Amino acid sequence: MKDYVHIENVSKFFGEDQVLKEVSHDFAEGQVHGIIGNNGSGKTVLFKCICGFMHPDKGSVRVNGVTIGKQRDFPERTGIIIETPGFLPHMTGFRNLQILASLNGKIHRNEIIQVLETVGLPPGLKKPVSKYSLGMRQRLGIAQAIMEDPEFLILDEPFNGLDKNGVAHIRRLLLDLKKQGKTILLASHNMKDIEVLCDTVCEMDAGVLREVTV
């Protein structure tokens, strides 16, 4: 199986604090890879290094053969949820996605309507995003991550704020994306999600990443 993400000796410091400690790992293509670990152990920082939002102080990250921060600033065809997605608060969800989609020009009105339905948000909803609940905002974040049919997904706590139905809904959606052969990195504190979805699981422990069996 081909490796989709190749992480080599990645270290990251904030001042004196080393939050990633020579992380080396390969994530295979077409699988779902879970990352678990305590609050503050370094999961989000690792994800930011993979998607080019942060640069490692040492080491390198290659995504689909391309070194991030050198050959390209960001990985191609990648959908990302990291922390709270930044939407324009006074606009509707539909309008927010429309503006984001216009940057690439790959998808249009019909695909946006479809993706909103996929995540369980009414496409015609008139409310501005500032009036969305946490779970609605999370669903919009998922819509934004998947709308351009990425081949690689970086999902940091995608179930955050979702109710029982929302979790079941998004779990089915992720299982479907997995079936389509997408490569997915998933950080979650919920072991059930990890068990249901993941082919491999790693634990981050104070900046050290190791594969575990669950």
- Out of 12, 35, 42, 44, name the contact with Mg ion by CB under 5 A: 44
Give whole-number Cα distances, 86 to 56, 62, 184, in Å: 23, 26, 21
Check the CA dihedral 55-58-208-154 and report its sign.
positive
Residue 104: which of ligand ATP, Mg ion, none does it interact with, CB under 5 to 8 A by kind? Answer: none
> What's the rounded Cα separation, in Å, for the pair 148 and 111?
9
183 touching Mg ion, by CB under 5 A: no
Task: Identify which of residues 96 and 138 has a Cβ nearer to ligand ATP in the complex.
Answer: 138
The yes or no reply on residue 41 touching Mg ion (CB under 5 A) is no
> Which of ligand ATP, Mg ion, none binds 45 (CB below 5-8 Å, type-dependent)?
ligand ATP
Question: Contact residues for ligand ATP (CB under 6 A)?
Answer: 14, 19, 37, 39-45, 204
- Print burial letters for 33-46: b (CB count within 10 Å at least 16), e (below 16): bbbbbeeebbbbbb
Name which of Mg ion, ligand ATP, none residue 140 binds, using a CB cut-off of 5 to 8 Å depending on partner kind: none
| CB atoms near residue 71 (< 10 Å) | 10
Cβ closest to ligand ATP, residue 28 vs residue 208 = 208
Contact footprint for Mg ion (CB under 5 A): 43-44
